[in-house]
Amino acid sequence: MQKQVYLQTYGCQMNERDSEEILGMLTAQGYGLVQREEEADVILLNTCSVRAHAEERAFGKMGLMQQLKQERPDLVLGILGCMAKAQREAIFRRLPQVDLVAGPAEIYDLPDLLAKIAEKRQREGLGVATRLMAVDRKVRPLDQKPAGDHRQGRVTAFVTIMEGCDKKCAYCIVPVTRGQEVSRPIGEILEEVQQLARAGFKQVMLLGQNVNSYGKRFPDGSGYQGPKRRERLLALEDDGREETPADSHDDGTRLCDFPVLLRQIDAETGIPWVKFTTSHPFDAHERLFRAMAECRSVCEFLHLPVQSGSDRLLRAMRRGYTVESYLAKVARLRELCPGISLSTDIIVGFPGETDEDFEATMALMERVRYDSAFIFKYSPRPGTEAAKWVDDVPRQVKEARNQAALALQARISREKLERWVGREIEVLLEERNRRGQLAGHTRGHLNVVCDGPDALIGELATVRVQRVTATTLIGVLA
Ligand code: SAM
Ligand code: SF4
C-alpha cells in the first residue's frame, strides 16, 4: 500500500525550497502527500534554529505527534533541517519516540534513511523508536541532486544557488547548522531557470544565505576562492599587479560570481523577473549594483540586512562593516538604481545594547527609510559566540525596543507607500488572498491587492493605487 507523508516547514524560504525538494524526492519514490497528520505514515518537520521560538514550536508539535504514535506505533517521526543539527542530543532526550534526525546537508539521503528505518523495523519489530541520526556531513552534496520536485504554484519559483555560510556572525547558528558555503554550478542554475521560464513561471527568487559570495566554492573545489587562488595571487604579485574581481576566476579564464550569474540569467533564460535574497552588506558592491542596474529582468529590490545602527554592536556582531560603509553602499546603489526598494533585518536587544545603541539603530532606519524591515528580538543560540556572553538586555526592554522599531518602520513604510496613491504600478499577480482579492508584488517587492478574475493569476498587470495600509497598496486594475 502507498505510504503517505506529512511535512511541516518552519523558518525561511530556503527551508521552504528544501521542503519542495524533499516532497519531490519522496513522491518520486512512490510516497503520497497528505495535509493531515492523522492520515500520514511518515510525519516530518523541516525545522529552523535561527531563533529559540521556532525551535520551541517544533518541539511542541513533535510532542503532540508522539501522542499519535502511541495509538499508531508504525508511524515514523522525523526531525529534519537546522534543529536536527543544532539540537541533536536534546531531540532524543526530549522526544524519545522520534525515529529520525537528519540535518540540512543530509536531505538528499532521506529515501535511504527511511528505507533503513523500514528494514530495522522488519528485523526488530515496532516496539522501540529507531533513533537514526544523520547530521555529520560538512556540506550538502549539491552535485548529487536527486530526481523529483514539488514546486508550489506556478508563478514564483525559489531557486537555491548556494548552501551554507562562511561568515561567523556572533549571534547566528546558520554556519553551524548549514555548514560551509558551496555554490551550485552555474550551468545547472541556468538550465533550471530556463525550464522554469518555459513552464510559465514569471519570477524566480534566487536563494542563499549570502548570495553575494556565490561562486566562491563549487562542489568540485573550483571557485574564486578555490585552491588555485593562492597561485593566482602569487602570479599577480610577480606581475606587480593588485587583484581585481576579474582576476579571481575559477578556471584561469572566466570569473563566475554573483553579478556574472545575474547577467547570464538575464541574457539566457527568458525569465521575466529575478529577485534574490540574502545579500550580506560586506559582499554587496559596485559590480552587483551595476548588474542590477543593467539587467532588465533583475528587479529593483534589495534585502540588505543591517542588524544594528551602532558601530560598537556591528563590531561585536562581527558583521565586517560600519554604519558609514553601509550607508555609502546604499547611496551608491540608489545612485545607480534610483527608486530601488530596500528592506532589512534588525536585531534588538543584542548583548550589551544600550539605549544609545538602540537610538543609533532608530536613527539609521530614519536615515535609510527602508521600504520594509524584519525586526527580531535577540535570542541566544547555543553553539554561537554570543551565547557565551551575558544576555543582559531585560526581556521588557527588548520588547519595548521591538515595539518602538516596529512602530517607526510602520510609519516609514506607510509614508513611502502613500506616494503611490493615484499612480499606476506594475504587479505580478500571484494568488487569491484570504479575503478573495488578487494579491501580488511589484518589482520593488511591495504588496498589492486588487479585485479581478482568476485568469490574471500568474500574469503581469497594471494596478491604479487607491489607498494604502502600513504594508499594502490597495487598488483597481487599470
Ligand atoms: N544570511 C542573512 C544575513 O546575513 O543577513 C540572514 C540569515 S538569518 C537566518 C535571518 C535573520 O535572522 C538575520 O538577518 C538576523 O536578523 C536574525 N537572527 C539570526 N540569529 C538571531 C538570533 N540569535 N536572535 C535574533 N535574531 C537572529
Ligand atoms: Fe547568519 Fe551572518 Fe551567515 Fe547571515 S551571514 S547566515 S546572519 S552567519
pLDDT digits (tens, 9 = 90+) for 81-121: 999 999 998 999 999 999 999 999 999 999 999 999 999 98
Query: What pLDDT is stored for residue 154 in this prediction?
Result: 81
239: pLDDT strictly greater than 80: no
User: Is the CB of residue 167 below 6 angstroms from any atom belonging to ligand 2?
Assistant: yes
Closest CA to 463 of 453, 478, 442: 478
Please give the distance, rounded to the nearest whole angstrom, from the Cα atom of residue 118 to the centre of ligand 1. 37
What integer is the mean pLDDT of 327-355?
98
Average pLDDT over all residues of the chain: 93
Which DSSP helix (H) or strand (E) runs through 184? Answer: none
Q: State the cell numbers at 448.
A: 498589492
Give the closest residue (by CA) to ligand 1 atom 5: 305
Query: What pLDDT is stored for residue 124 in this prediction?
Result: 85
42 in helix, strand or coil? strand
Got the DSSP string for 331-360? HHHHHHSTT-EEEEEEEES-TT--HHHHHH
Round to whole Å and give the CA distance between 47 and 36: 18
Please give the distance, rounded to the nearest whole angstrom, from the Cα atom of residue 272 to the centre of ligand 1. 30
| Banded model confidence at residue 140, pLDDT cuts 50, 70, 90 | confident
Index of the ligand 1 atom closest to the CA of residue 307: 16
User: Is the CB of residue 373 below 6 angstroms from any atom belonging to ligand 2?
Assistant: no
The amino acid at 43: I
252: pLDDT strictly greater than 60: no
Q: Across-strand partners of 44?
A: 7, 78
User: Is the CB of residue 130 below 6 angstroms from any atom belonging to ligand 1?
Assistant: no
| Banded model confidence at residue 253, pLDDT cuts 50, 70, 90 | very low
233: pLDDT strictly greater than 70: no
Backbone angles phi, psi at 27, to 5 degrees: -70, -35
User: Which ligand is located closest to the Cα atom of residue 12?
Assistant: 1
| Banded model confidence at residue 151, pLDDT cuts 50, 70, 90 | confident
256: pLDDT strictly greater than 50: yes
Index of the ligand 1 atom closest to the CA of residue 48: 9
Round to whole Å and give the CA distance between 290 and 277: 17
303: pLDDT strictly greater than 70: yes
Index of the ligand 2 atom closest to the CA of residue 209: 6
Q: How far apart are the first and last CA of the chain?
A: 52
Query: What pLDDT is stored for residue 231 in this prediction?
Result: 67
User: Is the CB of residue 307 below 6 angstroms from any atom belonging to ligand 1?
Assistant: yes
Please give the distance, rounded to the nearest whole angstrom, from the Cα atom of residue 6 to the centre of ligand 1. 28
Please give the distance, rounded to the nearest whole angstrom, from the Cα atom of residue 209 to the centre of ligand 2. 6
What integer is the mean pLDDT of 196-225?
91
| Banded model confidence at residue 245, pLDDT cuts 50, 70, 90 | low
Query: What pLDDT is stored for residue 367 in this prediction?
Result: 98
User: Which ligand is located closest to the Cα atom of residue 11?
Assistant: 1
430: pLDDT strictly greater than 80: yes
Got the DSSP string for 84-135? HHHTHHHHHHH-TT--EEE-GGGGGGHHHHHHHHHHHHHHH-SSS---EEE-
Count the neighbouring beta carbons within 10 Å of the beta carbon of residue 38. Answer: 10
Index of the ligand 1 atom closest to the CA of residue 384: 23
**pLDDT tens for each residue of 366-413:** 999 999 999 999 999 999 999 999 999 999 999 999 999 999 999 999
User: Is the CB of residue 277 below 6 angstroms from any atom belonging to ligand 1?
Assistant: no
Least confident of 177-181, 272-276, 297-301: 177-181
287 φψ region: left (φ > 0), alpha (ψ -120 to 50), beta (else) = alpha
| Banded model confidence at residue 250, pLDDT cuts 50, 70, 90 | very low
User: Looking at the chain, how many residues does it have?
Assistant: 478
314 in helix, strand or coil? helix
User: Which ligand is located closest to the Cα atom of residue 211?
Assistant: 1
261 in helix, strand or coil? helix
Which DSSP helix (H) or strand (E) runs through 47? Answer: strand 42-47
